[in-house]
Amino acid sequence: MTHATDATGAAGATAAPGHGRTAVLTGLGTFVPPRVVTNEELSRTMDTSDEWIRTRTGITQRHWADPGTATGDLAVEAGERALKSAGSGEVDLVVLATTTPDHPCPATAPEVASRLGLRGVAAYDVAAVCSGFVYGLASAAGAIAAGIADRVLVIGAETYSTILDPEDRTTSVIFGDGAGAVVLRAGEPTEPGALLGYDLGSDGSLKDLIIVPGGGSRQRSAAAAPGAPEPDRADAYFSMQGKAVFRHAVTRMAASSQAMLDRAGWAADSVDRFVGHQANVRILHAVADQLGMARERTVVNLDRVGNTSAASIPLALADAVAAGQLTPGDRVLMSAFGGGVTWGSTALVWPEITAY
């Protein structure tokens, strides 16, 4: 792994594809809960409107899990479908990217693996918020390159509805629940589906831009101090500084995407599909503009599912396949930005697979 400097001057970790074992995409599966929450429904309970939401985000509806349904439940559904797509239920490792784990302790991945019948395999969570799926891919690919695993199930799953403040229209209208999963196998760098490298980075000085302040050791330790005030109700919920996030997301995703294009040896106008984290349609178009890429090549499905954080890229991939927007041989660039703050990109030539 080398270190490349992005366009903003910050150093980010960039991994090059070697000449040995490479992670190859061989299965794709997704799941969203059946409950659909429209903009009109939200406008009946908070100070917002369909027009306000659509013009600012591009979202018209999202899926929310029913009471009693957790992130692990969605992850199992998507995982089963990805394994079916791959034609085999056997993997050596399960990597689950999520911001909304079933419990603070233990990780959710081991239980998901057990419920999938994958008892005894290694399993762990990745916490990189909306960049989690790209981080998960890089982690899985590292395990394959090192010979630790031959096949890896990577899942991005979220139940953001469980951490949203129902009184905050700036966040509650944006996020949805869902899960997407892929199976990676060991293969050759020249194969269709081979992940061609990664550009990853973070800037922890901006952690307050996207945060759930409560629930962790920092809040618990502060609350234990003599005379400490009662925790604020809002600390249990997700909060985001929207304008600053928009600006940093465009800058970081564009720089990371360009670094990945350079790594792959691709020109921006040679990319058939740009699959960015589905946060806001204006962010996706702004990144495409900065890369000099036609907006029409950007995959957009957030209008139907909202921002599903770590699940958004695999959900967008599956929807693009279903719509005929993504076909074997297409050059695909993926990029994300999330809390931490974190960002990451990867690329591949789309393989011949059936998504479920």
φ/ψ of residue 124, rounded to 5: -155, 160
Look up the pTM and report it.
0.93
246 within 8 A of 306, measured Cβ to Cβ: no
Beta bridge mates, 13: 3, 200
For residue range 106-150, what is the model confidence (pLDDT) as tens digits?
999 999 999 999 999 999 999 999 999 999 999 999 999 999 999
For residue range 198-229, what is the model confidence (pLDDT) as tens digits?
999 999 999 999 999 999 999 999 988 898 88
d(CA 214, CA 347) in angstroms, rounded, equals 36
Instruction: Compute the chain's Rg from CA coordinates.
Output: 19
Cβ contacts of 34 within 8 Å, gap of 6 or more: 63, 66
Active-site amino acid positions: 130, 277, 307
Query: What's the pLDDT band for 11 if we cut at 50, 70, 90?
Result: very low
Once rounded to an integer, what is the mean pLDDT over residues 53-66?
94
